[in-house]
Amino acid sequence: MKKTKIGFVSLGCCKNLMDTEVMLSELNAAGYEITGEETEADIIILNTCGFIQEAKTEAIDNILDIAWLKTNAKLKGLIVCGCLVQRYGEEIMKEMPEVDAVVSVGAIHDIVEAVKKVEAGEKFKALKAPEEAAMGGDRIVTTPEHFAYLKIAEGCDNRCTYCAIPDIRGKFRSRTIEDIVEEAKNMEALGIRELILVAQDTTRYGVDIYGEYKLDELIRAVTEATSIPWIRILYCYPDKITDGLCREFRENERLVKYIDIPVQHINDTILRRMNRHGGKEVIVSAIKKLREACPEIVIRSTVIVGFPGETEEQFAELMDFLAETKFDRLGAFEYSCEEGTPAAEFDGQIDDDVKAERYDAVMSQQNGIMEEANSRRIGRREIVIVEGYDPVSETYFCRSQSEAPEIDGKVYLTGAPKNSFSVGDMVDVTITEAMDCDLIAVLSQF
Ligand code: SF4
C-alpha cells in the first residue's frame, strides 16, 4: 500500500524547530514517509511562530501559499501547529477553510492522530494547554550534521510586559539532568560536534525541580557524560549569572566562550515597565562578572527600541550604555505592540517612524563596534568548525566559538584545497581579514 507522504515547513525559533523534530520522529515511527519536496507531499504540516505581528503574518502567508498546492498540486491536507495555533487555534479553524487540522504546542504528541484524521478526510482540532506536552522524546535532527540544539526546559515565568510567550508556551518547566544527559549522548552518537543548550530562559534551569539554578551543574554533567567538543548556551537572563556559571566559563574548556544575554534596555524606568527582573546595576554587574571570569568571552545581546513611553533621554542612555559596553554582537527590535500583553495597553505608544530611527541609530553604532571587534581578531589563531565548501569561491565556510549558527557571521577559510576537510572538522586557522560581520582566514602555519 502506498505510504502517505508528509511534508514539513518549520517557522520560528530553534525551540519550535525541536517540536518539529519530535513530530517528524513520531510520524516516521508510525510508518509515514517524510518528504522534503512540498509538491510531492500528500499532507503538509506547518509549524508556526506567533509571538509578534511579523511572525503571525509570515504564518498566514505560508498557510495561503501551501493551500495553493491543494488546488494546483496533489496536496490533500494541511495541518497547522505551533505557537500561532496555541494563541488562535479556534479562530484559524473557523476562518480558514484551507486548514484541515490544528495542533497546538501542548498537543504535539497528537500529530499522528491528526494525520490519520486528515487522511480520512476529516477536520481535526487538538488544542491542549502547553504544559500537557511531555518534554524531550526521540527526534529527527534537522539541523546540519555537525550541530544540534537541545531544549533543556520549556515555558517562561518572567512575564516581560511586551511578551506573549508565557501565554503560548506556559509555565517554566525544566527537564531532569538525567533526561538531558541521555539526549546529549544520543546527539553525540549522531556525530554532533556542537551542542547548543536552549530554553526561553536558559539561566533559570533547575529552579522549579531542584529548588536552585543548576545550569552550571547541567553543563558539567553534559561535558562529563559526552566528549562533544563544543557546548554552547543561548537565551540567558542577566539576573541569573551565578558564580557557578562564571566558574564554568573560566574552567570548562568545552563550554564555548560565548553567551547570548538579551538585556532589552538599560534605563531603570523602562526596565521596570518591561517587568525585567533586575535594573541597570544588575545588568552592568552581570557583564562585568562574566568578563572578569572569562576575559575572552563573546557577548551577544538584544535590545528593544521604542518601548511605550521611551523618551529621547532614556534612548540616549541606552545608546551611551551600548557605546560603552561594546557587545560583540547585538540584535535590536522595534517594539511590537502585541495584543493580550500588558504593554499593549500602556500609554505613550511610540510612532513607527521614531522606532525606525532609533533602530537605525542602534544598528549603525553597533556596526562600528562589531567591525572594531572583528579587526582586533586579525592575526589571531582560532579553532573553527567546518560547515561546508563553496566550489565557486573555493573556500570553506566555518565558524569559530565567536559565531553562533544561524545568527552570526562566518569565517571563510581560503587556500585550502578541496577535500581537505569534512563538515564538522575542527581546524586551526589564522584570521587575515575582517569584512563586515564575516572574517577571512588561512590555515595556521606551525
Ligand atoms: S524572558 Fe521575557 S521575553 Fe523572554 S520569553 Fe520570557 S517573558 Fe518572553
Number of Cβ atoms within 10 Å of the Cβ of 348: 10
pLDDT, one tens digit per residue, over 297-315 is 999 999 999 999 999 999 9
How close is the Cα of 156 to the center of ligand 1, in Å? 6
Task: State the average pLDDT for the chain.
Answer: 96
Tell me the CA–centroid distance for residue 163 and ligand 1, in Å: 6
C-alpha 160 to ligand 1 mean position (Å)? 6
Q: How many CA atoms lie within 13 A of 69 on its CB side?
A: 20
CA of 262 to the centre of ligand 1 (A): 10
How far apart, in whole angstroms, are the C-alpha atoms of residue 134 and residue 43?
25
438-443 and 426-435 beta bridge pairing: antiparallel
Whether 105 is in the pocket of ligand 1, judged by its Cβ within 6 Å, is no
Q: Is pLDDT at 395 greater than 80 in this prediction? A: yes
**Residue 46 near ligand 1, beta carbon < 6 Å:** no
Q: Which residues contact 434 (CB under 8 A, 6 or more apart)?
A: 371, 374, 375, 377, 378, 440
Whose cell is 554587574? That residue is: 285
**In a mutational test of the pocket of ligand 1, which residue from 13, 168, 200 has the highest number of ligand atoms less than 8 Å from its CB?**
200
Q: What is the largest CA-CA distance in the chain?
A: 69
Interval 222-247 mean pLDDT: 98
165 lines ligand 1 (CB under 6 A): yes
Choose between 446 and 425: higher pLDDT.
425
Quote the ligand 1 centre to 428 CA distance (angstroms): 37
224: pLDDT strictly greater than 70: yes
pLDDT digits (tens, 9 = 90+) for 329-338: 999 999 999 9
Work out the pLDDT band at 73, boundaries 50, 70, 90. confident
CA distance 113 to 108: 10
- Looking at the predicted structure, is the pLDDT value of residue 225 above 70? yes
Ligand 1 contacts CB of residue 83 (under 6 A): no
Task: Categorize the per-residue pLDDT at 436 as very low, low, confident or very high, splitting at 50, 70 and 90.
Answer: confident
Give the ranges where 73-161 is alpha helix by DSSP (H).
Answer: 83-95, 111-119
Burial 213-225 (b: 16+ CB within 10 A, else e): bbbbbbbbbbbeb
Beta-ladder partners of 304: 333
- Is residue 237 pLDDT above 70, yes or no? yes
Mean pLDDT of 330-348: 96
Position 71 pLDDT exceeds 90: no
What pLDDT does residue 157 have?
Answer: 97
Residue 104 to residue 99: CA distance in whole angstroms? 14
pLDDT tens column, 143-169: 999 999 999 999 999 999 999 999 999
**Average of per-residue pLDDT across 405-428:** 96
